[in-house]
Amino acid sequence: MTTPCVLLACQCGSVEGQLTLDDTTRFHLVCYCCDCQAYAQQLQQADTLLDEHGGTELVQTYPANMQITQGHQHIACMQLSEKGIYRWYTRCCHTPIGNTVRSAKLPFVGIPVAFMRFESATQKKQLLGPIAFKVFAKYGQGQMPEEAYAKVPFVFLRQTVGFLLNGFWFNKHRPSPFFRDGSPVSTPQVGKTL
């Protein structure tokens, strides 16, 4: 059986790639946190990245599942604060690519669905499945959906621990499109304004 792949591309098409998915190596969620909202504003993409409640749709998976096949020279990185996570985007059109922690050894990347390409809404649902969690709704805008969590539920934390342990065991932190020899492929800019 063939493992499904999602095509990745920035808005202008200069950066492309693919994401390999299966049911055990991903979380499909919406995050309403202040940082995700601020990031969308920094990229000047709030209208296209955020839903009506200020949420960003993401797929959390392993770096080893993600490949950039074209446009490596356009990859840039920012941090909203000195200790903030690395937020990767394209220089060419300011499309968000992914969020990682600052260590290349942690098997985690959150990929905005805005960086993914689907032939239809049906294909998107088939490949990504339903949204499993809506988190940090306390920072959202307006009347939040009933299924949204104010912070993060315990079940999500428990699944995340298992996900990370599996990633460490199988060295899913590499290869990574964001780190080379343990260092970021692009120097992170703190509080960068585009």
R_g of the chain computed on alpha carbons: 16
Specify the pLDDT at position 187.
95
Specify the pLDDT at position 21.
87
Which of these CATH numbers, 2.40.110.10, 1.20.120.430, 3.40.50.720, 2.170.150.70, describes 5-187? Answer: 2.170.150.70
pTM assigned to the model = 0.94
Q: For 69, list phi and psi in degrees, rounded to 5.
A: -100, -15
Euclidean distance between CA atoms 160 and 158, whole angstroms: 5
Domain ranges of the chain: 5-187
Question: Could you count the other beta carbons within 10 Å of the beta carbon of residue 102?
Answer: 13
Residue-wise burial string across 91-100, b where 16 or more C-beta atoms lie within 10 A, e elsewhere? bbebbbbbbb
Per DSSP, which regions of the chain are E strands? 5-9, 16-20, 26-31, 56-61, 66-70, 75-79, 86-90, 96-100, 109-112, 116-117, 133-135, 179-180, 183-184, 189-190
Q: What is the pLDDT of residues 56-100, one digit of tens each?
A: 999 999 999 999 999 999 999 999 999 999 999 999 999 999 999
Q: Which residues contact 38 (CB under 8 A, 6 or more apart)?
A: 80
Give 10-residue mean pLDDT values along the chain (194 residues): 86 97 82 96 94 96 96 97 96 97 96 96 92 96 91 92 94 96 95 70
